[in-house]
Amino acid sequence: MTDDTATDRLTELAKRRGFFFQSSEAYGGVSGFYVYGPEGATLKENLEDAWRDRFVRREGHMEIEAPNVMPEPVFEASGHLDGFDDMIVECPECGASHRADHIVEDNTDIEEAESIAIDDIEDIIAENDLVCPSCGTDLAGEPVDDFNLMFETNIGPGSSSPGYLRPETAQGIFVEFPRLKEYARGQLPFGVAQVGAAYRNEISPRKGLVRLREFAQAELEHFVDPEADEPDLESVEDVAVTLYSEARQDDDGGEPVEMTVGEAVEEGIVGSAWVGYYLGVAQGWYERIGIDMDRFRFRQHRSGELAHYAADCWDAEADTSPPGADPDWIEITGFAYRGDYDLTKHGEYADDDFTIFKQYDDPITVERATVDPDMSYLGPEFGGDAGAVADALEALAERDRSAFEGDDVTVDVDGEEYTVPVEKTGFAVEEVTEAGEHVTPHVVEPSFGVDRLVYTVLAHSLTQDDAGESEADGDDEERTVLTLPPELAPTTVAVFPLMDKDGLGERAGEIAERLRRAGFEVAEDASGSIGRRYRRQDEVGTPYCVTVDYDTLDDDTVTIRDRDTTAQARVPVDDLPGVVADLRAGETTVGDR
C-alpha cells in the first residue's frame, strides 16, 4: 500500500465514522481548519486527559487557561513579529502560493529544508527544475520570501489596539509569570501547563490534521534554577530511546541509534539533563497512548534549524506511513531547553518583575559598584538621552568597575558613544549585606501537538484483518480495526441485543444505562447481524462489546467480547461494571475469564 493510499484510507475512515473532516464544506471548505466529529472529539479529549495525568498531575505541576488573543507588545517582546516566518514562493502562472521548503523536501532527497537559507533554497529550486505543485509551471528564478504566520486582529473598535491570535500557548504562560510565581510561593522549580488552541496562517496546509491553521497544543513550561535544580534523572536513566542526533544526520547514511537516557546525557548527546528527563517520561507515555515505537524516534535539531532561544532541542517524530512504505516522518512533540530568553525578554518590555528572589541560607556581605549620576550635568549635556546614559553607566558599573578608574568613562547607547567625567557619575564601591539574589529562571519546554498525536495514534492503530481472522465472530468478512488503547477509545463498551425482540432490546438498554452510570462511554446498536455490529465497533476502536441473548433472560449473564483477540466470555450482569473497569485498566483480559 502506498503512503498516499494509506493517507486517503485514514481520511476516508475519519470522515465516514466521525473522527475528523474539513470545516465549512457546505461553503467549499477552508484549508487548514478541521472539525472533530463525535468520535474524534472524544478521542482528542481522552488523549488530552492522558497528557494531563502524566505531565501535570503526576509531575505536580499547575495548569492555566490563557486568552487566545493577546496584545501586540507581547509578540514584540517574544520576537514573533520579526522572526515567525516561513518561506513562500508564488507561481507566476496560476498565482498559487507554496511553502518553498516543502517543494524542496517533496521533490529532492533534502530533509528539514526549513533550516536552509532562502538564497540556497532559490538555487536548489533552479538546479532541480522544480515546478509549481498546482499547475506545473517552472519556478526557477522566482523569488522566495519570508511570510509571517501571525493572524492579526484589533482589540476593541478601531485600529489603535492591534492584537494577534497566539501562535503558541506558551506566551500566555510567560506573560503571567509574575502572578504564577506567587502561586508557587516563589519557590523553584515549578511547572505550568496549558492545553488549548493556537493559530498560524500556514502558507499551504496539508495532510489533514498534520498541518493546520488552527490547532491544539499541550505545552508545559518548567521553570528551574539553572544553578541548583536537577531533574530526577535516576527515574528514567534506564529508559531506552531511539535518538537521531545532529551528528548522525550529518553523517551520510547515518541511522538513529538506541541507547538509554542515562547514557545519552552522560555522553553529552542530549545536552540537558532536564531535556533527557522529559524524553524518558514521554517515551513511556507514547507507548501508553498506542504509538508504535518501531515507527518512532527522537531527532535533534540541527544548528541551522535551532530556534534562537533554544540551547538544545529534540523533536519526537513518528512515521505515519504503513509498514513497508517509504517513511513519512512528522513532528509530534518538541523538547526544548529555552534558557532564560523568554522571561528576560518580557522583563525588558513589560512593567513587572520576571525574576524570583532566591534567599540565602545566611546573609552575605559583598562589594557592590554603584553610580549616582549628577543629572544636573547629564541633563544639559545630553538632553533627551540623559536617562539612557545614566542607565548605561549603572549597567557598566555592575559588569566592569575598572572602566571608572580614569578621569572619564565612555558608554554606548544605541550605537552612539557618550563620554562622562567620572566625578559626575557618582561612582562608588560599597560593602552591602544581601539576604539573597534575584534569579531569572530557565525554562524547559515539552510542547505536544495534540492534533498530530491524534493523527498518529489513528494511523498506528489502523489495521485490517484477513477474512479468515474474522471467522470467530461468525462471518468471513474482512474487518477494519482501530486498535486504540481502551483509555483513549471514544467508546469503552457497546451493548447489543442478539435480536430486538422478546424483551432483549429492553434488557440491553437497561444494561447500557447501568454502564453509563458507572462512568463508561457506551454505544447501543440493534441493527444488522451481530458480526456486522462487531465490525462497526471495531472500526471506531471500541475495545469491548457486550451481547444480550436469551441466556441473559434466564441466568442474568452476558457475553463480553474483546476487540483485538475476538475472545469471548460469559459475565454476570451484576459483575459487568467491575469487569469492564478491570479490562480498561489492563488488570485482566477477556481471555482470562
Q: Both ends of the chain: CA-CA distance in Å?
A: 38
CATH number at residue 104: 3.30.40.230
- Mention every residue, 6+ apart, whose C-beta is less than 8 A from residue 476: 467, 468, 470
Cell of 172: 500566555
Q: Is the pLDDT of residue 472 over 60?
A: no
99-107: long-range pairs with CB below 8 Å, 24+: 99/202, 99/203, 99/204, 100/125, 100/144, 102/204, 102/206, 103/130, 103/133, 103/139, 104/128, 104/130, 106/133
Q: What tens digit of pLDDT does each residue of 18-29 get?
A: 999 999 999 999
Q: How many domains does the chain have?
A: 4
DSSP state letter for 150: P
pLDDT of residue 592: 86
**Same domain, yes or no, for 259 and 334?**
yes
The whole-number pLDDT of residue 6 equals: 64
Q: Going by DSSP bridges, is the β-strand pair 522-524/493-497 parallel, antiparallel, or unpaired?
A: parallel
Q: Kindly state whether residue 90 falls inside one of the protein's structural domains.
A: yes
Asked if the structure places residue 398 within a domain, the reply is yes
- Residues 293 and 178 both lie in one domain: yes
Q: What is the CATH number of the domain that holds 493?
A: 3.40.50.800
DSSP category for residue 301: P
Task: Answer yes or no: is 413 within a domain.
Answer: yes
9 in a domain, yes or no?
Answer: no
Using 50, 70 and 90 to split pLDDT, how confident is the model at 2? Answer: very low
Hey, which residues does 366 pair with through a beta bridge? Answer: 432
Domain-located, residue 36 = no
What are the φ and ψ backbone dihedral angles of 150, each rounded to 5 degrees? Answer: -75, 140
Residue 267 CA from chain centroid, whole number? 27
- Residue 289 in domain: yes
Q: 501 phi and psi, to 5 degrees?
A: -160, 170
Instruction: Specify the CATH number for the domain of residue 227.
Output: 3.30.930.10
Predicted TM-score of the model (pTM): 0.86
Identify the top-confidence range among 43-47, 92-96, 202-206: 43-47
Q: Is the pLDDT of residue 547 over 80?
A: yes
Does 65 share its domain with 173?
Answer: yes
483 pLDDT tier (thresholds 50, 70, 90): very high
Please check whether residue 352 is in contact with residue 178, taking contact to mean a CB–CB distance below 8 angstroms: yes
Grid cell locating 577: 461494571
Do residues 131 and 166 share a domain?
A: no
In a domain, 24, yes or no: no
The reported pLDDT for the residue numbered 124 is 95
Closest alpha carbon to 392 in 378, 406, 380, 381: 378
- Residues 413, 486: one domain? no
Helix or strand holding residue 1 (H, E) = none
Going by C-beta distance under 8 Å and a sequence separation of 6 or more, which residues neighbour residue 196?
A: 65, 66, 68, 169, 216, 217
CA 334 – CA 320 distance, rounded (Å): 17
The pLDDT value given to residue 474: 54
Q: Which of 509, 510, 539 is nearest to 526 (CA)?
A: 509
Is 552 inside any structural domain? yes
**Pair (68, 91) in one structural domain:** no
Q: Quote the domain boundaries for residue 118.
A: 85-148
Domain termination residue (choose one: 370, 402, 433): 433
Same domain, 180 and 299: yes
Are residues 204 and 248 part of one domain?
yes
Would you say residue 69 has pLDDT above 50?
yes
C-alpha cell of 477? 468478512
CA atoms within 13 A on the CB side of 138: 6
Please give the mean pLDDT across all residues of the chain.
93
Residues 256 and 141 in one domain: no
| Section 371-385 average pLDDT | 94
Question: How many angstroms separate the CA atoms of 229 and 189, rounded?
Answer: 7
- Residue entry with cell 549603572: 394
- Asked whether residue 139 falls in the same domain as residue 255, the answer is no
Res 468: pLDDT: 42
User: Is there a single domain that holds both residue 287 and residue 384?
Assistant: no
492 near 521, Cβ under 8 Å?
yes
pLDDT digits (tens, 9 = 90+) for 254-294: 899 999 999 999 999 999 999 999 999 999 999 999 999 99
Burial class (CB in 10 A: 0-12, 13-18, 19+), 158: exposed
Same-domain status, 140 and 242:
no
